[in-house]
Structure 1
Amino acid sequence: MDWRTASDSVRVFLKDVAVDLSVGLHPWERHPERPTRLVINVEMFADWPLADGAFINYDHVRQRILSWAGRPHVELLETLAEEVISACFELPLVQACKVRVAKPQVFNEAAGAGVEIFRKRSAS
């Protein structure tokens, strides 16, 4: 399925899920006593309509994100985005997903900085 050209698709999303953890490459980001606030947005795409009784359990992905609190330091936001993508594709109905991981308070002069990855489920 190519969700951009499919005649009928559904987009399931999580908006602005917040979690604090030690993340970043800068020396000032490596203090576990001062974790960084992250805001994560997730979009999952599937064919529509879903089979009777079928649904995309976004709580599975939300719980994965919330489990990050207290984990060891992570250098790259891309690492976290890939973990969310993996959680999305653990849901068999999801055919594509877009994950955005942002640091809203990293720079005084910017509303945020981060990474966004879009991925389609591989055919294999």
Structure 2
Amino acid sequence: MKPPGTNLSGSGLRHVFVRDMVVFASVGIYPHEHQDRQRVRINVDLAVIDDTALAGQMVGADELARVVNYEKIVTSVRAIAGSGHIRLVETMAERIAEACLTDARVRIARIRVEKLDIFADAASAGVEVERQRPDA
């Protein structure tokens, strides 16, 4: 998966990502998908303002408060996946993107949601969305 905002990479951005996270979620339009949770793979790529690069510093302070914490991203994904039935993977992706964009440092969120066990002859089926902060 190509990182989001690659055309902006020279403008003080860092990419924070979570790759190939597999959760069980109730997602889908068919009756059996309402009854049983299924494996869903989530990929999150965030283009994040890098304050140290913008300030011309090669090495920033080693402080958690200055970075987007990927543990919070994982916690949000788990909460959304466990929040009840979602009809469309598109809706799930949008909710994850919205949760990521609540951090003002996140400029672009690219989210991929894949159902893993939907077709016997395909590894997955799903959607990828990319959302940008309105003020970016």
- Equivalence for 1:37: 39
Going from structure 1 to structure 2, the CA distance change for 1:109 and 1:117 (only over 3 Å counts) comes to same
- Asked if residue 11 in structure 1 is aligned to residue 15 in structure 2, the reply is yes
Q: Tell me the SS of whatever aligns to 1:95.
A: strand
For residues 87 and 58 of structure 1, the distance between their equivalents in structure 2, rounded to whole angstroms, comes to 12
Moved over 6 A (4+): none
**Aligned-CA RMSD value:** 2.0
Correspondence for 2:31: 27
- The answer to whether structure 1 residue 80 and structure 2 residue 101 are counterparts is no
Structure 2 residue runs without a partner (length 5+)? 53-59
Cα separation, 1, equivalents of 2:39 and 2:96? 17
In 2, the alpha carbon distance for the partners of 1:66 and 1:74 equals 13
In structure 2, the CA distance between the partners of 1:5 and 1:73, relative to structure 1 (3 Å rule), is closer
Deviates more, 1:6-15 or 1:114-123: 6-15
Q: Which moved more, 1:92-101 or 1:48-57?
A: 48-57
Q: How many residues align?
A: 121
- Provide TM-score, normalisation by structure 2: 0.78
Does structure 1 conserve the Cα–Cα contact (< 8 Å) formed by 2:26 and 2:34? yes
Q: CA 1:3/1:29 → structure 2, altered by over 3 Å: closer, same or farther?
A: same
Which whole-Å CA distance do the structure 1 matches of 2:81 and 2:45 have between them?
22
Q: Does the aligned pair in 1 maintain the 2:80–2:95 contact within 8 Å? A: no
Contact 1:3 1:46 in 2 (8 A): no
Cα offset for 1:3?
Answer: 5.3
Report the 3-state secondary structure (helix = DSSP H, G, I; strand = E; otherwise coil) of the residue aligned with 1:4. helix
- 8 Å CA contact retained: 1:3, 1:47: no
Secondary structure at the residue paired with 2:8?
Answer: coil
Deviation per residue, 1:42-69 (Å, 9 max, x gap): 0010233547441011211210111245
**Partner of residue 55, structure 2:** none
Once the two structures are TM-superposed, the CA of residue 16 in structure 1 deviates from its matched residue by 1.3
> How far has the Cα of 1:112 moved from its partner?
0.3
